Amino acid sequence: MMPSRQDIILLSIVLLLALLMGWSSSAFGWSLFVAALIWSILQYREKTLLQRWSAKPISRPLNVLDSWQEVSLRLYQTIRTERTRHRRTLRQFKTFRSITDALPDAALIIDNAGNIENLNNAALQLFHLIPADRGNHLASLVRDPEFSALIRGQIDGDLIEFPSPFNEQIRLEARRIDMSLGQVSDRDTGLPYERSMILVRDVTELNRLLSMRQDFIANVSHELRTPLTVIVGYVESLLNEELDRETITELIGRLLSPTTRMRALVDDLLLLTRLESSPIPTDDEIAPVDMRLLIDTITADAEVLSGGRHDIEIAQSSNEQILGIDGELHSACLNLVTNAVRYSPDGGAIRVSWEDIPGGVRFAVEDHGMGIPKEHLSRITERFYRVDLAQSRVRGGTGLGLAIVKHVLKRHNTQLQVKSELAVGSTFFCDFPSTQIA
């Protein structure tokens, strides 16, 4: 500690006073002793002030002598800067913590021995862990041979898929990310300290969607291939030059059925894709739909399909109009009525009704056809799901009709309901809520 100007002046005054006192009293020794005592008391007081302040260095230090003040203020500034830096680091840590806790995927930091250093909320939930599991070995808490190998860094590509140890149905994907911090050394071994991050996410739904997509592509290819094979067959026959004109005309006529089938399939696929990509209709698309007129039109179409082989009755007791999309409702209702015709034997009675019910209006199609076995009921609205594939093909179905109906009704705030009994008949109906009435 360098003596300041103030120290030198103060010391000079004390010495001067001592000299004056010594000169007037002729006791120089005593005067110098008193001067030294006063100086020591002043220094002691400053030291005590600094000591007291250092026990709780929150406010400014109280030292008055420049040399002491300089030191204490420098300490005060350093402490303040450190405190601000500490607060900022703490804030950043809290933000980081809340970000990792908000992540839907489990994130765990493990040391080179595989012990958990840190983990987020998703990890706690996914692996049924508790915060006190920090410090425990991850592989002993989540028991799976492949996961253990991943933790040890023995998996090529550091990526695995494995079943959840708590539920076989759940598939998990785990990734190991090396976070080696070469510059930091382990205190015990002196070796570079290495950490890894283990990220785990639930891929059950993703896998389901992927396999659905694969099934869908396989189904579409299969459905298109059947009529295409027929077409190719006829075209090859037509290439035979020895055919007479009558046979050629007949063969061309036979091309109509498979091509119509292909067009129906492509039309249904396009409609279904459009419906699935926009679950909520826009305001511009919606207008009052005259359901009485719509039912008359679809019933006339169904009569054509039936060719007079069925007894189709219309029962319209409601005059309500529906807020919706005419084309879509037409397509959905027509699908239900044509199914009733397709899956009813000749002479079967079909009833199409539009009736007021408490809280809304009901559209229903009732038939006395082949009916649907109970175990199939929950799946008939899936794309390409048929109770009897051969029957559906023979009767001109694409396997997409009820999937279209389901999506159209969903866009109109209602849902398809089915009551059916094998060999007795089926009723397909939907209840439009009063909010959907125009």
Q: Site map for ligand ADP, 382-401, x if CB under 6 A?
A: ---xxxx---x----xxxxx
CB 370 to ligand ADP: min, Å: 5
Nearer to ligand ADP, 172 or 387 (CB): 387
Q: What are phi and psi of 246, to 5 degrees?
A: -60, -45
Across the beta sheet with 360-367, the strand order is 311-316, 349-357, 360-367, 425-433, 417-421
Pair 159, 149: CB distance under 8 Å: no
Nearer to ligand ADP, 53 or 343 (CB): 343
Give the start-end residues of each E strand in 224-286. none
Tokens found for residue 2: 């360098």
User: Which residues, 6 or more positions from 344, have their beta carbon under 8 angstroms from its beta carbon?
Assistant: 310, 350, 367, 368, 369, 370, 425
Does residue number 369 form part of the binding site for ligand ADP (CB under 6 A)? yes
Nearer to ligand ADP, 46 or 366 (CB): 366
What is the DSSP annotation of 129-156? Answer: --GGGTTSBHHHHS--HHHHHHHTT-SG
CB 435 to ligand ADP: min, Å: 28
Of 109, 119, 172, 402, the residue at the interface with ligand ADP (CB under 6 A) is 402
Nearer to ligand ADP, 326 or 388 (CB): 388
Nearer to ligand ADP, 31 or 392 (CB): 392
**3-class DSSP string for 355-384:** EEECCEEEEEEEECCCCCCHHHHCCCCCCC
Closest residue to ligand ADP using C-beta atoms: 397
Of 332, 367, 412, 429, the residue at the interface with ligand ADP (CB under 6 A) is 367
Does residue number 129 form part of the binding site for ligand ADP (CB under 6 A)? no
CB 339 to ligand ADP: min, Å: 4
Between residue 279 and residue 338, which ones bind ligand ADP under the rule CB under 6 A? 335
Nearer to ligand ADP, 227 or 399 (CB): 399
Of 108, 272, 370, 408, the residue at the interface with ligand ADP (CB under 6 A) is 370
Tokens found for residue 148: 């253990």
Q: Measured over all CA atoms, what is the biggest interatomic distance in the chain, rounded to whole angstroms?
A: 157
Angle subtended at Cα 260 by Cα 285 and Cα 306, rounded to the nearest 5 degrees: 85
Does residue number 372 form part of the binding site for ligand ADP (CB under 6 A)? yes
CB 364 to ligand ADP: min, Å: 12
Count of residues interacting with ligand ADP (CB under 6 A): 23
What's the rounded Cα separation, in Å, for the pair 114 and 155? 15
CB 133 to ligand ADP: min, Å: 50
Pair 432, 381: CB distance under 8 Å: no
CB 406 to ligand ADP: min, Å: 9
Task: Enumerate the β-bridge partners of residue 115.
Answer: 137
Helix/strand/coil for 82: helix
What's the rounded Cα separation, in Å, for the pair 119 and 131? 8
User: Which residues, 6 or more positions from 64, have their beta carbon under 8 angstroms from its beta carbon?
Assistant: 46, 49
**Token match 């009529």: residue?**
227
Torsion of CA 413, 419, 420, 424, to 10 degrees: -130
What's the rounded Cα separation, in Å, for the pair 172 and 147? 10
What's the rounded Cα separation, in Å, for the pair 24 and 339? 132
Nearer to ligand ADP, 63 or 299 (CB): 299
Nearer to ligand ADP, 261 or 411 (CB): 261
CB 212 to ligand ADP: min, Å: 16
Nearer to ligand ADP, 139 or 334 (CB): 334
Of 63, 318, 426, 436, the residue at the interface with ligand ADP (CB under 6 A) is 426
Q: Site map for ligand ADP, 29-68, x if CB under 6 A?
A: ----------------------------------------
Does residue number 343 form part of the binding site for ligand ADP (CB under 6 A)? yes
CB 349 to ligand ADP: min, Å: 13
Site residues (CB under 6 A) for ligand ADP? 335, 339-340, 343, 367, 369-372, 380, 385-388, 392, 397-403, 426
